[in-house]
Chains A and B, each alone.
Chain A
Amino acid sequence: MNLAVIEPTTSWYLVLAAVLFGIGTVGVMVRRNPLVMFMCIELMLNAVNLSFVALSASLSDINGQTAVFFVLVVAAAEVVVGLGIIVSIMRRRSDATADDLSVLKG
């Protein structure tokens, strides 16, 4: 079988995005450092963006790319607010993990 004739189809991109989303899910559940949990959420957002772009190319529809644009903007806003919250928590206790923050439940 000649490798040069195999072209990656849309399904390949979608499966890659699914695996990336799964890795991000595991990361959010396993890691305790709030910063790293945030990075894992970014991984999941990027998985969704990848499937949007792959489907946009395969369905010849620009609206998928528009959706990615909005996801990027919202992700930036989310990171700004989230890091602000983390900074104000860490100012009080510098080694806080997600477990220590259970005191928030009152």
Chain B
Amino acid sequence: MELFVFVCAAAMVLVGAVGVITRNNPVHAALSLVLTLFGIAVLFVANNAHFLAAVQVIVYAGAIVVLFLFVIMLLGVDQAEDLSTEPLTAQRPLALVVGIGVAGVIIAAIVKSQDALLVRGTGINSATPEDADANIRQLSRSIFSDYVFAFEVTSVLLLIAVVGTVVMSRRQRGQHVEESA
């Protein structure tokens, strides 16, 4: 059963990922990204990360991809990009070699470090029907005690990102946006 879940989710992830880099219409690429993100969320559930699976669907599929689609449609860049011509002839084969190389090096490291995977930590609570929020409780205890400083810093980071984006995309007073946009 676990094998079945893994195979289905892995197929979703890989098909979606290949779709992102091969579809020449950006809208299709964004929808392929949704497929990948849902596959990742399924794998999170399979690894007892129930809260993160929910956050993955809400934040990534619900917010980030919608933001992508919003920008695509706002800017009208949804016409298909011509992928058949390549200005730099060596780029695609080189990119393929580098990509396979990166994946190969990581896989080699995984195979070499099999023994390190046998270490056991302090234990992880997974949600059960009797105790549905065990995972959330354990995760929040970790965030709000051990990592509370990092948590505060990320909230400052989010604030800076919001203010920076507003400042960047705001039009100056009296400045007219170019016609024929």
Residues of A in contact with B (beta carbons under 8 Å apart): 3-4, 6-8, 10-27, 29-33, 35-36, 38-40, 42-43, 46, 49-50, 53-63, 65-66, 68-70, 72-81, 83-88, 90-92, 94-95, 97, 99
Cβ contact within 8 Å between B139 and A62: yes
Main secondary structure of the interface of B (DSSP, over half): helix
Give 15 A-B pairs besides A13-B43, A17-B106, A23-B21 with Cβ atoms closer than 8 angstroms: A4-B3, A7-B2, A10-B117, A22-B102, A26-B21, A26-B99, A27-B20, A43-B33, A46-B60, A53-B44, A62-B124, A65-B52, A70-B150, A73-B158, A91-B178
Cβ contact within 8 Å between B33 and A83: no
Cβ contact within 8 Å between A32 and B154: no
Cβ contact within 8 Å between B67 and A40: no
Q: Does B127 interact with chain A (Cβ within 8 Å)?
A: no
Closest Cβ of chain B to A82, distance in Å, is: 10
Main secondary structure of the interface of A (DSSP, over half): helix
Closest Cβ of chain A to B146, distance in Å, is: 8
Cβ contact within 8 Å between B20 and A59: no
Closest Cβ of chain B to A35, distance in Å, is: 5
Task: Provide a sorted-by-A list of 14 A–B residue pairs whose CB atoms are within 8 angstroms.
Answer: A20-B13, A20-B36, A21-B103, A26-B98, A43-B33, A53-B44, A56-B47, A62-B125, A65-B142, A69-B139, A80-B165, A81-B161, A81-B168, A83-B68
